A and B are shown apart, each in its own frame.
Chain A
Amino acid sequence: MQLATLLIGLIAATALWSGVQALNQQARTSYDRAASVFGGARTATLVGRDGPSFPQSLFVDVRRAGWPVSPLLEGRVQIGGKSLRVLGIDPVTLPVQSAGAPEIGRDGLQAFLTPPFETLVAPETLRDLGLRERDRPDIAGGLQLPPLRAQSQLLPGVLVVDIGIAQQVLNQPGQISRLLIGETKQRRASLDSIVGDRLRLVEPSSESDLERLTDSFHLNLTAFGLLSFVVGLFIVNSAIGLAFEQRLPMLRTMRACGVSARLLNGVLVFELVTIALVAGLVGLVCGYLIAAFLLPDVAASLRGLYGAQIPGQLTLQPQWWIAGIAISVGGALAAATTSLVKAARLPLLATAQPYAWQVAQQRLLRFQGLASLAVFAFAAAASWFGDSLAAGFAVLAAIMLGAALALPVVLGFVLKTGERVASRPLTSWFFADARLQLSGLSLALMALLLALAVNVGVGTMVSGFSKTFTGWLDGRLAAEIYLNAKDDPQAVAIAAWLTQHRKVDAILPSARTDVQIGGWPVEILGFADHATYRDRWPLLEQRAETWDRLRAGDAALISEQLSRRLKLGIGDRITVPTPSGAWSLEIVAIYADYGNPKGQLGVATDALLRHFPETPRTRLGLRVAPDRAPALVAEIQRTFGLDGRSVADQATVKAESLRIFNRTFAVTSALNAFTLGVAGVALLTSLLTLSHSRLPQLAPLGAIGITRRKLAVIELLKTMAVALITALLALPLGLLVAWCLIVVVNVKAFGWRLPFYVFPSQLIALLGVAMLAACLAALLPIVRLLRMQPAELVKVFANER
């Protein structure tokens, strides 16, 4: 039994930890690809000081001065209603170290640089667009891209073309976004002496925007993995502790027969390491399966929350396997430390005293109580003085650790009080015996407490987010129909058709463009001057006459996350880089923009188009009686040849948004379920190991006239009672975790703060699940007790055990 328990614990610990690490590794590899592809954050670059692009002649000047630079032009095009990033490169001058992907070979180079040219694209994007290799997709302005060619190393959502082609399709003749700098040993002339102050050097960063944005998500995943790992080690520790206790007489006999303590410990360690290696391998296979199972959800979460593109196929590196085995062996040895030390110091003449061991465990509880107070004090201090994401996670970790340490103390107190209050002998024994069992069960109960608290905390946060998000969508999606025309002329034609035929109550033209402010990607969103926005846009804070100020063109609404990132409030000014120079805007309101990985600024559409004249004017919101919307959508699709992705009614967009939202948090639900499952297994294994050593405690009750059936019921009730107390303690702890997630972690990680809601029905359901898990865990030992032959029970009295 101990072997099975040990294996279950090690496999569970290794599997969940390795699974989460595999997911993190997969995502980070993707970020690395994104960062290293053609001058991402990993490459030093030169950028224009005044705007998003600069003349190509500067490239010639810098290159002639001996700088190993390569030009790059970046922009976006729309294909079939989807916005894609275009990178124009010069493969001849591309620095070797920035061309990590994709490689363009000698043959490929000719095809890439000569008519009809090529557009390199990731296979995932090709599939997503419903296109095949050699197809030439249409883009705005009646232009076509060169024939598509799939390149597996490319990131999804990126199109790579020759820079000359990019200048055409992006309508930026002779312009460059940045210059990638290669490494050279030659001394370079100073930049100022070549181009004056027109270019600015951007040093390579070890961390990309995406890595910075997604840090908290991966920290979250790691925290789940670590929690499951710790819970698994709880099982291992419990199994090894009891196995050693039962083997002590045998170990003593071996010592008495002349086996040295060193040899005995060496053999025990060898045995443990062998088991850990086997369990580690099985755990890694399980971890791989878990990661493969969760990857689609993780990819959806990263796409939904941060816009990160993660390929759907799991690739693992050798170090993952090595780390997995190491963590299994290391974890097993760590969990066995106390038992190994005990075996090393084994007094030869002492007799085995399982009960004394349990009493010693109870002494440990007092230290645990003091330790938990210290950890809670640390949590309070971190909460008071800390102001970072790391501090937020430190508070969370400290709260959970403190609560776990305090649990056996609290349970002991409750059961002791129960014993004192109980007047009937069986009730009194019920509490007294439950208290005695605590030392053996406390680790499993701690695991249950942590798993439940995380479930309550994350569940409350996600449900609160869902409720807020739904209400927010109602305000945000105010128009009944959303439309994205193929190009500007089509948008004008549609607007004219709608006006002429009086199909709608209002047409709300919209526009958006992307810029970088303070190193963060920011969307500039154009608002039409219409009561729809005034009445329904979800503002969190605002100045008087917000919308009138916006119409004037020198004011902006700012999204909550951008205001936090840039530490800007109402009345502050923000400078937006535009092709025609800096655009200074006063912030007049802050609005909620949940789920958007980018920062966002809202300005008047007219003002946006004045400062960014190249912005597509293809987006329209239509106000119409809700019952007429579906028919109008169908009519527009039919009349203008648009598909469902380009024109949709409000209900469809809302449903899609909610579907994406739910998918985003699917991974959380799956990890919640896994963690709770491991906690249930921890409880089961503890009860199974205890059931053997409990026979001498139960047998006297059988001898003095309590039936096995009654004993079994009492045993079940006892487990359920301690599980219930644990679950009841987990509820406030979970709400505290939720509060910490909402008020500290979310704000630091995402930049938005959600209202705190409590969902009683969810708490009751989780309580039910916890009790069911406890009942299932208790059932097997109970059935064994019920089916035990009288001879087994009698052995306790016959001195044959």
Chain B
Amino acid sequence: MLTVAHLAKSYRSADVPVAVLRGVDLAVQAGESVALTGESGSGKSTLLHLIAGLDGADSGRITLGDVDITALDDPGRAALRRDRLGLVFQQFNLIPSLSVADNLAFQARIAGRHDPLWHDELVDRLGLGDLLKRYPEQLSGGQQQRVAIGRALAIKPTLLLADEPTGNLDEATADEVMHLARDLVARSGCGLLMVTHSARLAATLDRRVHLSSGRVS
């Protein structure tokens, strides 16, 4: 489903190019959950951002199903994110001006893929029924991350990309959130690629890929 081939990316820091990814190869199958681990600065988040089309690669190729993401322009990548990808970040990145209910349905509705039954199930499974009228600022970290996962899964994505989704949560809350996420991913049948520093969490997923100095080791 997801194929990453010979992917390279560098950034300019103080006018000196710094190579972050140096030819990464990776594949994630439908329904498969993969943990992406590595030390700080190994390029995990960069890889995730390139797959999500948030940034452009220097070279290499990323395909999702039959779509070559690296060949898409900015509007094309935006459409891909809207219709086929779910993104979850460590900082939750909810829309502060919208209520929980609106945040949950936002992406699905702009993608034209709002499924009320699936929406209700997500609300129910994520335990958000009493929080729908609240705003993100009024939620705890765990609650915000549950909303972020719900928003990402509401479109029934082909692939869920999660960047340290439990980095801001305590262990118990992290376990609870991950349990829910895995459950819902399995229920929706999408793939999961998750960046994490936690070996314990990585061990709960189907497979683990380790990045080191910009390469899969």
Chain A residues in contact with chain B, CB under 8 A? 355-356, 359, 424-426, 428-429, 432-433, 435-436, 696-697, 699-710, 790-791, 793-794, 796-799
Cβ-defined partner of B93 (8 Å) among A355, A428, A703: A703
Contacts of A426 on B, CB cut-off 8 Å? Answer: 110
Q: How far is the CB of B128 from chain A (nearest CB, A)?
A: 17
Contact B93 A699 (CB under 8 A): yes
Q: How far is the CB of A581 from chain B (nearest CB, A)?
A: 82
Kindly list 9 other residue pairs between chains A and B, CB separation below 8 angstroms, not including A429-B98, A697-B96.
Answer: A429-B106, A432-B97, A433-B97, A435-B97, A699-B93, A703-B81, A705-B107, A706-B82, A794-B49
Contacts of A794 on B, CB cut-off 8 Å? Answer: 49, 54-55
Binds A, one of B24-32, B71-79, B203-211: B71-79
Known contacts A425-B106, A697-B97; A790/B81 CB under 8 A: no
B45's closest neighbor in chain A, by CB? Answer: A798
Contacts of B54 on A, CB cut-off 8 Å? Answer: 702-703, 790, 793-794, 797
Known contacts A794-B49, A797-B45, A799-B91; A705/B96 CB under 8 A: no
Contact A428 B98 (CB under 8 A): yes
Contact A425 B49 (CB under 8 A): no
Q: How far is the CB of B185 from chain A (nearest CB, A)?
A: 18
A359's closest neighbor in chain B, by CB? Answer: B137
Q: How far is the CB of B48 from chain A (nearest CB, A)?
A: 9
Interface string of B174-209 (1 = CB under 8 A from A): 000000000000000000000000000000000000
Q: How far is the CB of B208 from chain A (nearest CB, A)?
A: 22
Cβ-defined partner of A432 (8 Å) among B82, B98, B164: B98
Contact B55 A707 (CB under 8 A): no
B residues 33-68 near A (Cβ < 8 Å) are: 45, 49, 52, 54-56
Contacts of B52 on A, CB cut-off 8 Å? Answer: 703
Contact A704 B81 (CB under 8 A): yes
Contacts of A796 on B, CB cut-off 8 Å? Answer: 91, 93
**CB-defined A-B contacts under 8 Å, sample of 14:** A429-B106, A435-B97, A700-B95, A704-B106, A704-B151, A705-B85, A705-B107, A706-B110, A708-B74, A709-B74, A793-B54, A794-B54, A797-B91, A798-B45
Contact B102 A425 (CB under 8 A): yes
Query: A700 vs B163: C-alpha distance in the bound complex, in angstroms?
Result: 14
Contacts of B107 on A, CB cut-off 8 Å? Answer: 704-705
Q: How far is the CB of B150 from chain A (nearest CB, A)?
A: 13
> Chain B contact residues (Cβ within 8 angstroms of A): what range?
35 or more
A698's closest neighbor in chain B, by CB? Answer: B95
Answer whether residue B132 sits at the interface, using C-beta atoms and an 8 A cutoff: no
Contacts of A708 on B, CB cut-off 8 Å? Answer: 74
Contacts of A707 on B, CB cut-off 8 Å? Answer: 74-75, 78
Contacts of B91 on A, CB cut-off 8 Å? Answer: 696, 796-797, 799
Contacts of A697 on B, CB cut-off 8 Å? Answer: 95-97
Contacts of B90 on A, CB cut-off 8 Å? Answer: 799
Interface string of B95-138 (1 = CB under 8 A from A): 11110001001110111000000000000000000000000010
**Across the A-B interface, the 10 shortest Cβ-Cβ residue pairs:** A705-B82, A432-B97, A425-B109, A705-B81, A436-B97, A700-B93, A707-B78, A433-B97, A704-B107, A790-B55
Contacts of A359 on B, CB cut-off 8 Å? Answer: 137
B103's closest neighbor in chain A, by CB? Answer: A700
> How many A-B contacts if CB must be within 8 Å?
97
Q: Which of A425, A432, A435, A799 has the most CB of B within 10 A?
A: A425
Query: A705 vs B87: C-alpha distance in the bound complex, in angstroms?
Result: 10
Contacts of B167 on A, CB cut-off 8 Å? Answer: 799
Query: A300 vs B41: C-alpha distance in the bound complex, in angstroms?
Result: 71
B76's closest neighbor in chain A, by CB? Answer: A707
Contacts of B83 on A, CB cut-off 8 Å? Answer: 705
Q: How far is the CB of A445 from chain B (nearest CB, A)?
A: 17
Contact A429 B93 (CB under 8 A): no
Query: A790 vs B74: C-alpha distance in the bound complex, in angstroms?
Result: 10
Contacts of B79 on A, CB cut-off 8 Å? Answer: 705
Contact B111 A797 (CB under 8 A): no
Q: How far is the CB of B109 from chain A (nearest CB, A)?
A: 4
Query: A425 vs B155: C-alpha distance in the bound complex, in angstroms?
Result: 14
Query: A715 vs B79: C-alpha distance in the bound complex, in angstroms?
Result: 20
Query: A799 vs B85: C-alpha distance in the bound complex, in angstroms?
Result: 21
B92's closest neighbor in chain A, by CB? Answer: A700
Cβ-defined partner of A700 (8 Å) among B85, B94, B137, B164: B94
Q: How far is the CB of B113 from chain A (nearest CB, A)?
A: 11
Contact B163 A797 (CB under 8 A): yes
A425's closest neighbor in chain B, by CB? Answer: B109
Contact A429 B102 (CB under 8 A): yes
Contact B137 A355 (CB under 8 A): yes
Contacts of A705 on B, CB cut-off 8 Å? Answer: 78-83, 85, 107, 110-111
Known contacts A356-B137, A425-B109, A425-B110; A703/B56 CB under 8 A: no
Contact A790 B78 (CB under 8 A): no
Contacts of B164 on A, CB cut-off 8 Å? Answer: 799
Contact A355 B96 (CB under 8 A): yes
Query: A707 vs B94: C-alpha distance in the bound complex, in angstroms?
Result: 17
Contacts of A798 on B, CB cut-off 8 Å? Answer: 45, 49, 163
B12's closest neighbor in chain A, by CB? Answer: A791
Q: How far is the CB of A700 from chain B (nearest CB, A)?
A: 4
Q: Which of A428, A433, A710 has the most CB of B within 10 A?
A: A428
B87's closest neighbor in chain A, by CB? Answer: A703
Contacts of A797 on B, CB cut-off 8 Å? Answer: 45, 49, 54, 87, 89, 91, 93, 163
Query: A701 vs B81: C-alpha distance in the bound complex, in angstroms?
Result: 10
Q: How far is the CB of A787 from chain B (nearest CB, A)?
A: 12
Q: How far is the CB of B203 from chain A (nearest CB, A)?
A: 24
Contacts of B94 on A, CB cut-off 8 Å? Answer: 700
Contacts of A709 on B, CB cut-off 8 Å? Answer: 74-75
Contacts of A425 on B, CB cut-off 8 Å? Answer: 102, 105-106, 109-110
Cβ-defined partner of B87 (8 Å) among A356, A428, A436, A704: A704
